[in-house]
Chains A and B, each alone.
Chain A
Amino acid sequence: MSIGWLIFIAVVLIIIVLFQVTRTLDLVSQLRGNDDEREEHNSKVNGIALFIFMVLGVYAYFWCFGHFKNSNLPPASEHGYLIEDMILWTLIVCSIVFIICNILLFTFSLIYRYKKGRETVHFAHSNKLEFIWTIIPTIVLTGLVIFGLQAWTKIMSMPDEDTFTVEVTGQQFFWTTRYPGADGKLGARDYNLICPDNPLGIITKEFVEHRINLLQGNAKLDVKGEIKVLEERKEILPGLIDSIQQLIEMRQNRYRSEDLKDELDELEDELDDIDSHIITRVKNLDRINTIYTPEYFVSHQDEITWGYDDFMPSEMHVPVNEEVLLKIQALDVLHNFYIVHMKVKMDAVPGMPTFFKFTPITTTAEMREVYSKNPLWQQPKEGDETKTPKWKNFQYEIACAELCGTGHSAMKYILVVDTEAEYEEWVTTQKPAWNNVVGNLKIEGLSELAPKLKSVEPVATDSINLVTDTSTIASKGN
């Protein structure tokens, strides 16, 4: 019990009181005047009210533009100005229509409100009028379409091949960007190779090997799983089947002896689930084995070597006034890469890269200047001990604009627009992602990788840390 309920009770009471009052009023009015008088009275009151409502509404309409002007976004990209222009023109056209139509609507309601014996006309139809108001919107809309499509084509046209490209990947619930490194080329990727050490699935021999090890190790750890589907996998997962069988029997016996029906059912469900996870992994292994034949590494040498120097920074940096092409991807569900001030917005779709190009024209530092004059950015951030005004810490923020699950609103990422010099310097501080992981990979016999791929043998699991992977399984088991 608290204010919530109190409000609820108050509302109910108000409704009851209102009702009693109105009922009495209605009864009184029915006793008094005749239908016509009542109708006239109601129409007058409501007609005047409609008119006042309209006048206040039109006033509020313009008032809002002033009131909210500080929360508008200063555009920071080249095409942002195109969009601003379009919005402005459309706003002008639409405001005229909106205001005129509403004024007529509410004014007519007042002027022609019910009066006994008022003359009405039987005006059913006029070719001329109807022609006019079909043609005018058509012309105006045609103008807007032409204007709009020009902008659209410009925004969406694909830039030259050698445009500076940054790869963006969305997943629950964060963004990763990947830069091409010194060679200017992004290495190839494969979702089959993704693992905690290789979050984007960059293809290198070592990562292929590593993934295989992980998968086998995983499969071995999933000893709780079911059997039948795995029968045929005996060669690649020896020993697995027996232990699963034992485990299941143990648990089943216990549940039976204690007559725990629910638990028995649950066990069944759990087995189904674990089963499907094992199949997923086995299939993953299969695909890797099919794709990464020794010939593959020969014929794809270039794409693979490009990958070694790619880097994945914790913030996205771009130089000002240079066109950037975003190659946008998603790993799991749809996301949408939304750089708020840049007016960049494009879905990230699993299995289908999308593209968006933009040219930032305001550096982060310049934008701080802009915001230093904005009253909404003068306060310090809540809980900020140093009391720095917000504009001093302004950052271009990147959000997700396509519902992607529980953490949708938490997919914040930062874009920093540097000057050319700042950017160059920043690049030199970035380490290739490969550097960070290569030490973690405990792989023997890299050189013999190729032959091993065809006949995989189980690898001792203790050399690989599987905590992340198994914990996800456990959490999904419920």
Chain B
Amino acid sequence: MSLETTVHEHQHVETHVHGHEHHDEHHHKETFITKYIFSQDHKTISKQFLITGIIWAVIGGLLSVLFRIQLGFPDANIMWLKPLLGKWITAEGQLAPEFYNALITMHGTILVFFVLTAGLSGTFANYLIPLMCGARDMASGFLNMLSYWFFFLSSIVMGISFFLATGPASGGWTAYPPLNDLHQAATGSIAGVDYWLVSMALFIVSVLLGGLNYVTTVINMRTKGMKMFRLPLPVWALLLTAVIGILSFPVLLSAAVLMLFDRNLDTSFYLDQIYIGGEALANSGGSPILYQHLFWFLGHPEVYIIILPAMGIVSEVLAVHSRKPIFGYTAMIYSLLAITVLSFIVWAHHMFMTGMNPFIGSIFVIFTLIIAVPSAVKVFNWITTLWKGNIRLNPQMLFAIGFVSMFISGGVTGIFLGNSAIDVELHDTYFIVAHFHLVMGVAAFFGMFAGIYHWFPKMFGRFMNPTLGFIHFWGTIICAYLIFFPMHFEYMLPRRYPTHAGFETFGMFGELNQFISVFAFISFACQLIFVFNFFYSIWYGRKARELNPWGATTLEWTTPLRPKHGNWPGEIPEVHRWAYDYSKHGRDFIPQTEPLSQYEIEHGEHGDEGDSAIIQKEKKDDH
């Protein structure tokens, strides 16, 4: 059954779009290709991002299952994987160590860039920005389409690198030189790194095309009455995400291009006085540390690129399903802005132990701990949003609450790491792994799940199965905590080791590693439940019959059940209020499209004192 045949109301997409580039598109007959493959409809592009992201997430997750087998069960014979992995399984039925490194490298790259950047902000920026701003599409549908296809190309290149005889890149997702710069330094550096770099370059083009589009759309194409301070928080978050991406990804591009030069044109940007493989290389004058500065100038903002969309989604879901306005809307926006700005001046906290000048290190300590303040404010505001709400604990809400919990748990460990003195002990250990998986990995996934469960009926006109959603949530949160919380106690264990067996000092964690691995496997299985639920529900889920099933105030729920390209069949609705009028004036919610009543003050800006007075007045008026 195709998507289209399930549509019941055949609304007419209006052929006359006011002052809009997509003007003539709607006159053409849409073929399968233009509709589903080379579509310029932001909703379709969003789904392309989402589904590609899901596929990559499964692959990335599978890789982690493989290396968790190695870490938890180092003696297990995994000969049975030989048909799949070929020479990467040694004759003894073990994972080859260079393959272990390739696995963690690809796992990190795939999840950070393909899943949590493209899959998360690609999906939701595309889906939500036009719908929530009240636009018919992105500023440029064509560039938007290119953005997806560059991502697709990038992921193909990365995919091909798996099949290289010498394997994919194996020098970590951060791809530090000289390990990744010198062909002779690692098997993955022979050819894999070139693929990695080219893939990243294509990916950056995708991010930039997308990002410029998102920013332009939010700035220019909001519907009448949609002031910036009336925008729902996901739009703010996605806007700032795009801004961060536009400012930081080009720096990664330059880092990658310089490395390509080093690797293929014999330049020495990152190389100096190297003796390797029995040879003293001619390269001189470069600095491997230069790369780290360039990388983390993207790398740190990147973690916010990942988390901001999730924050936006969670803010929205928390408000809608607790039937309360998000607490401290303005503070939420300013803290997003503060995070955006600060995220550019903390990068060197990843480099405390590179021998950098300790004074410079101190400055980065200060900025790093300052960035914890806006993060803390957000957490307190989310918690207060729940207070005295009427909380519908459906899957999306559970994931939103889980997000907040994960963000707290992973955020507090950031306070340890931000203090460079403590980082001496914790740098490059499993403590870091625990920190960023909680605060970024799991939290961002929770935000993404919350978004998917919440907007699924809008995206596909059907609901996901809530019971499977509950199982998915409980399986995931329990496993996530059981995996990553005890991992903090491995704070002396160096990361990126296929085995710690050579060291007596590290010998006491065999049991814990096994425990962690078992829950990693279970957690992977839980994600398969989600994947199944997702695809099954696209075609066979319970049909959505109401336009606004969650009782939300925002514009996307004013579109038809299955909006066509152009989103609204008639005029684009006008907006009269902010997005969070829940439980106001004794009403459950007031849509953004409803004009303010005579005595109404907009969004609690002036406190809630006036509120009851207004209701009184209105009641009098009614009489």
Contact = CB atoms under 8 A, between A and B. Distances in A.
A376 interface: yes
A350 B274 contact: yes
Nearest to B502: A412
Interface stretch (A68-76, A178-186, A303-311, A456-464): A68-76
Contact of A476 (B184, B380, B420, B607): B184
B428 interface: yes
Contacts of B284: 351
Interface in B382-437: 382-384, 386-394, 398, 401, 404-405, 408-409, 412-413, 415-416, 419-422, 424-425, 427-429
B279 A401 contact: no
B278 interface: yes
Contact of B425 (A130, A343, A351, A412): A343
B439 to A, nearest CB: 12
A92 to B, nearest CB: 11
B211 interface: no
Contacts of B404: 105
A42 B471 CA distance: 12
A447 interface: no
Contacts of B353: 336, 345-347
A148 B349 CA distance: 14
A11 B475 CA distance: 14
Nearest to B409: A98
A102 B408 contact: yes
A386 interface: no
Given A90-B422, A152-B365, A405-B186, A352 B391 contact: no
Interface stretch (B78-86, B144-152, B229-237): B78-86
B178 A334 contact: yes
Nearest to B352: A152
Interface string B166-180: 000001100011110
B429 A120 contact: no
Nearest to A405: B186
B272 A46 contact: no
B26 interface: no
Q: Is the interface of A mostly helix, strand, loop or mixed?
A: helix
Contact of A332 (B79, B274, B503): B274
A43 interface: yes
B505 interface: yes
A293 interface: no
A64 B425 CA distance: 20
Contacts of A376: 508
A404 B494 CA distance: 12
B618 interface: no
Contacts of A148: 365, 419-422
A318 interface: no
Contacts of B508: 70-71, 376
B494 A68 contact: no
Interface string A458-478: 000000000011001100100
Interface string B453-471: 0000000000001111011
Contacts of A50: 393, 398, 401
Given A284-B282, A351-B273, A409 B97 contact: yes
A87 B416 contact: yes
Interface string B527-561: 01100110010000010000000000000000000
A94 B468 contact: no
A49 B172 CA distance: 39
A115 B391 CA distance: 8
A283 B283 CA distance: 10
Contacts of B373: 134, 137-138, 141
Interface residues of B, number: 141
A472 B391 contact: no
A440 B372 CA distance: 60
B277 interface: yes
A133 interface: yes
Given A5-B80, A122-B584, A138-B373, A112 B278 contact: no
A426 interface: no
Interface string A166-191: 00000110000000000000000001
B358 interface: yes
A390 B497 CA distance: 22
B260 interface: no
B267 interface: no
Contacts of B427: 345, 401
Interface in A343-393: 343-347, 349-355, 376, 381, 390, 393
Given A53-B478, A120-B390, A349-B354, A1 B424 contact: no
Contacts of B481: 57
A446 interface: no
Given A4-B80, A125-B327, A403 B171 contact: yes
Contact of A409 (B176, B277, B424, B499): B499
A12 B529 CA distance: 9
Given A125-B605, A201-B275, A118 B422 contact: no
Contacts of A346: 353, 355
19 contacts: A4-B80, A12-B528, A22-B465, A47-B391, A50-B401, A90-B415, A108-B391, A122-B611, A138-B373, A149-B365, A152-B421, A287-B282, A338-B428, A345-B425, A351-B274, A408-B101, A409-B497, A410-B502, A473-B278
A340 interface: yes
Contacts of A350: 178, 271-274, 288
